[in-house]
Each structure stands twice: as structure tokens, then as C-alpha cells.
Amino acid sequence: MSSATEAPQPIAAAPVALPVTERIIREVWPSVTAVPAAAALGKNLIRSIILAPLGWLLLLPIYFLKVLPFVAKRYTLTNRRLMIQRGLKPKPSHEVALSEFDDAQIAESTIDTFYRAATINVLSQGKIVLQLPGVPDPESFRHAVLDARTAWAPRKNYQ
């Protein structure tokens, strides 16, 4: 038989493991509750209605601290780590690898329903290894952290 009538056979290639680059899953900027005293005073002034503009003026500089050069702060979750980044060109100031922590918990005493923010404590062997104060929508961010850890760093059974 001639080889012109036969279908070409595919060449078997060895499987290649592609490197996984670090990608951002979620990034949040801390709310004004990261400065508890000012947030409490601002909340009381805003609730008084008459003094609300004074409360807004008090919280305005704290709100813009998150974007000012050299002060800007954000919490970044990637497929490899959870970190606190500072500066306009973000550089990690604190970080923990996804495989190095056991749980992320919302500190019950810091939940603020007015600002919808709280502090998240990241735990490893029962000790706090990273604390994220003033996280907006903390329950959602906590679930994102735990889901990322389970998906990208499956090392044991998480509860």
C-alpha cells in the first residue's frame, strides 16, 4: 500500500509543565476603620445628621491616606500569597504564603456594621501571622482567601 492513502499519525509529545505565574485574585483597600479612633468619632458625628459634614471632613484625610504616595496601603490576594502592599508602585511590606497558614478569621470585636468592615486575622498553628485591619466586606474577602488557599495550596484537609 502506498503511504499517500494512509492518514498521518500524530507524534506523541512529552507533557510539559508550564510555570504558574503569580496572578492577583483580589485586591482591597482598607477602610477608614483601620484608624479606629477617627472612625468611631466620624461615625458618631455622621449619625448626628447636623454634624455630619464635620464627620465627613474628619474622615476625608484618612480616606485619602490609602492613595497618597508612600502611604498607600492595600491587601492583595494572589494565587501564591496574601500580602499587605504599600506605595503607589506596590511593594509587599508583610506577606504569608497560601501554604503557610491554617485559617483566616474575622475578629468579632472589630466588626463595624456602619462601615461594613472588620479586621481579618490569618492564623498558623493557632498564632496570628498576619493581621488585616479595616477590610471592607470582610466575610467575602475571608472566603476568597480560604478558597484560594484550598485551590492553590492543597496540602492538608482544611475545615
Higher pLDDT, 7 or 101: 101
Of 127, 137, 128, nearest in space to 26 by CA: 137
Number of domains composing the chain: 1
> What residues make up the domain containing 84?
26-152
CA distance 90 to 12: 44
Can you give the pLDDT at residue 97?
94
Can you give the pLDDT at residue 14?
57
Whether 16 maps to a domain, the answer reads no
Whether 2 maps to a domain, the answer reads no
User: pLDDT tens for residues 57-92?
Assistant: 999 998 888 778 778 899 999 999 999 999 888 899
Cell numbers for 94: 508583610
Whether 13 maps to a domain, the answer reads no
Whether 33 maps to a domain, the answer reads yes
pLDDT at 13 over 60: no
- Reported as a pLDDT band with limits 50, 70 and 90, residue 127 is very high
Q: What is the CATH number of the domain that holds 68?
A: 2.30.29.30
pLDDT at 31 over 60: yes
Inter-residue contact 124 to 96 (CB < 8 Å): yes
Is the whole-model pTM more than 0.85? Answer: no
Whether 20 maps to a domain, the answer reads no
Can you give the pLDDT at residue 28?
95
